[in-house]
């Protein structure tokens, strides 16, 4: 019988993102990342106060991932929680970064105590979650992500998967309301672990 499958996002779930990305924008591009609303591309400003145009966002994001992934630090308790889950479950990291960033992301997560398979994706996560559930032959699954649209996408494509909405950075908690498509909203790993274990039937 197959083991339950945990499918977990990386940025702002396992690793801090807005903090290191903001530091990168300031240090490398003399730009400021404001966290007054959760719309990254409109919240990057130059020293003169003008906003960086949307078409310039992706190059900045990829520039960060090209050179500054090692500046991303783990969310407290993330490695311990995944290690506990991995005793009973298969664990896959499903992350929306370019395929070329897969190796560095895999190595960085392993360096930080999270030595799991990394699947890179572009766009909604419902289809890749469905594919992973089918690939592993899993009858029970859990999905963890900070972005509400992904929970809706997974709900439609893989409704049997338990969906936990987590936003690691406290500055974003109030900016990202609980997803209506998630089964739970918890913003820290020590609290998330027993919820996931119960949902997956692996409570110890």
| Binds Mg ion (CB under 5 A): choice among 12, 90, 108, 187 | 12
What's CA 194's distance to the chain center, in Å? 19
Three-state SS at 180: coil
Please say which residue, 9 or 90, places its beta carbon nearer to Mg ion: 9
Site string for Mg ion, 99-128 (x = CB under 5 A): ------------------------------
Joined tokens for residue 55? 């078409």
Q: Give the range of 119-127, 139-147, 154-162, 167-175 binding Mg ion by CB under 5 A.
A: 139-147
Q: Which of 3, 5, 6, 11 binds Mg ion (CB under 5 A)?
A: 11
Shortest distance in whole angstroms from residue 47 CB to Mg ion: 28
Task: Check residue 187 for interaction with Mg ion (CB under 5 A).
Answer: no
Q: How far is the CB of 17 from Mg ion (least distance, A)?
A: 7
Q: Which is nearer to Mg ion, 8 or 89 (CB)?
A: 8
Binding segment for Mg ion among 12-20, 26-34, 37-45, 84-92 (CB under 5 A)?
A: 12-20
x-marked contacts with Mg ion along 144-163 as a string, rule CB under 5 A? --x-----------------
Query: Quick one: 38 or 88, whose CB is closer to Mg ion?
Result: 38
Q: Tell me the two tokens of residue 27.
A: 């240090």
Binding residue for Mg ion (CB under 5 A) from 4, 7, 8, 9?
9
- Select 88 or 175, whichever has its Cβ closest to Mg ion: 175
HEC profile of the chain: CCCCEEEECCECCCECCHHHHHHHHHHHHCCEECCCCCCHHHCEECCCCCECCHHHHHHHHHHHHHHCHHHCCECCCHHHHHHHHHCCCEEEEEECCCHHHHHHHHHHHHHCCCCCEEEECCCCCHHHHHHHHHHHCCCCEEEEECCHHHHHHHHHHCCCCEEEECCCCHHHHCCCCCCCCCCEECCCHHHHHHHHHHHHCCCC
Query: Which region among 10-18, 31-39, 49-57, 173-181 touches Mg ion (by CB under 5 A)?
Result: 10-18
Write the Ramachandran bin of 12: left for phi over 0, alpha for psi from -120 to 50, otherwise beta.
left
Binding site for Mg ion (CB under 5 A): 9, 11-12, 146
């Amino acid at each position: 019988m197959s083991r339950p499958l945990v499918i977990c996002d990386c940025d702002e779930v396992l690793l801090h993102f807005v903090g290191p990305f903001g530091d990168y924008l300031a240090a490398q591009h003399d730009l400021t990342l404001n966290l007054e609303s959760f719309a990254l591309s409109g919240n990057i400003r130059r020293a003169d106060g003008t906003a960086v145009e949307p078409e310039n966002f992706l190059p900045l994001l990829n520039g960060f991932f090209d050179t500054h992934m090692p500046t991303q630090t783990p969310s407290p308790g993330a490695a311990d929680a995944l290690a506990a889950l991995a005793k009973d479950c298969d664990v896959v990291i499903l992350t929306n970064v370019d395929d070329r960033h897969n190796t560095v992301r895999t190595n960085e997560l392993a360096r930080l105590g999270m030595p799991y398979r990394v699947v890179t994706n572009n766009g909604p996560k419902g289809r890749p979650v469905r594919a992973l559930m089918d690939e592993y032959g899993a009858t029970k699954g859990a999905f963890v992500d900070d972005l509400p649209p992904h929970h809706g996408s997974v709900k439609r494509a893989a409704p049997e998967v338990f969906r936990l909405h987590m936003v690691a950075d406290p500055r974003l908690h109030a900016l990202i309301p609980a997803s209506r498509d998630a089964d739970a909203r918890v913003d820290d790993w020590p609290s998330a672990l027993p919820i996931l274990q119960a949902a997956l039937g692996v409570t110890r």
